[in-house]
């Protein structure tokens, strides 16, 4: 149930950001407020999805999400100040989000693949013994 609620809040935040961006461009006054609410839902959802593992690649992508959150706050501020260059920042957020999403999926598959591979059962000492025994057989045949 909680997972479904998180999913709904994420989708609702993303849709609010998308729709309200168009409304702000069309100079609809309440679009700014809808964008701020959508950005808040998005930031709350991303905060709850914080990566706490040890993989440096996924930690870096998590920092991208943090940067996106800060940029969304700045975008909302710029909209309330009637500045038009918030669109450029929104494009940067979209590019970073797309990159982080696709790369995180690949990195998570790599981690799952490494965890599922069985460890080598042959110890290095036993490999040396096998090589020594092979050398002895070759020497005995001469």
Secondary structure, 3-state, the chain: CHHHHHHHHHHHHHHHHHHHHHHHHCCCCCHHHHHHHHHHHHHHHHHHCCCCCCCHHHHHHHHHHHHHHHHHHHHHHHHHCCCCCHHHHHHHHHHHHHHHHHHHHHHHHHHHHHHHCCCCCCCHHHHHHHHHHHHHHHHHHC
Residues 6+ apart with CB under 8 A from 1: none
Q: In the prediction, which pLDDT does 72 show?
A: 96
Q: Give the Cα separation of 130 and 122 in Å (integer).
A: 11
Pairs from 28-35 (Cβ < 8 Å, separation ≥ 24): 31/79, 32/76, 32/79, 32/80, 35/75, 35/76, 35/79
With H, G, I as helix, E, B as strand and everything else as coil, classify residue 87: helix
Give the pLDDT of residue 74: 96
For residue 36, the model assigns a pLDDT of 96
Residue 139 has what pLDDT? Answer: 54
CB 87 within 8 A of CB 25: yes
Mean pLDDT by 10 residues, the chain (142 residues): 84 94 94 96 86 81 90 96 94 93 86 77 51 53 55
- Structure tokens that stand for 54 in this block: 């040890």
pLDDT of residue 123: 52
pTM: 0.74
């Amino acid at each position: 149930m909680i997972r479904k609620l998180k999913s709904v809040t994420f989708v609702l935040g993303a849709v609010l950001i998308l729709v309200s961006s168009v409304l702000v461009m069309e100079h609809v006054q309440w679009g700014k407020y809808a964008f701020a609410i959508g950005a808040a839902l998005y930031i709350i959802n991303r905060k709850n999805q914080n990566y706490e593992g040890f993989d440096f690649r996924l930690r870096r992508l998590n920092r991208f999400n943090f940067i996106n959150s800060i940029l969304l706050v700045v975008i909302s501020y710029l909209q309330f100040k009637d500045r038009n260059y918030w669109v450029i920042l929104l494009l940067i957020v979209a590019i970073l989000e797309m990159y982080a999403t696709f790369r995180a999926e690949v990195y998570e598959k790599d981690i799952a693949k490494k965890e599922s591979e069985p460890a080598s059962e042959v110890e290095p000492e036993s490999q040396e013994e096998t090589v020594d025994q092979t050398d002895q057989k070759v020497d005995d045949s001469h």
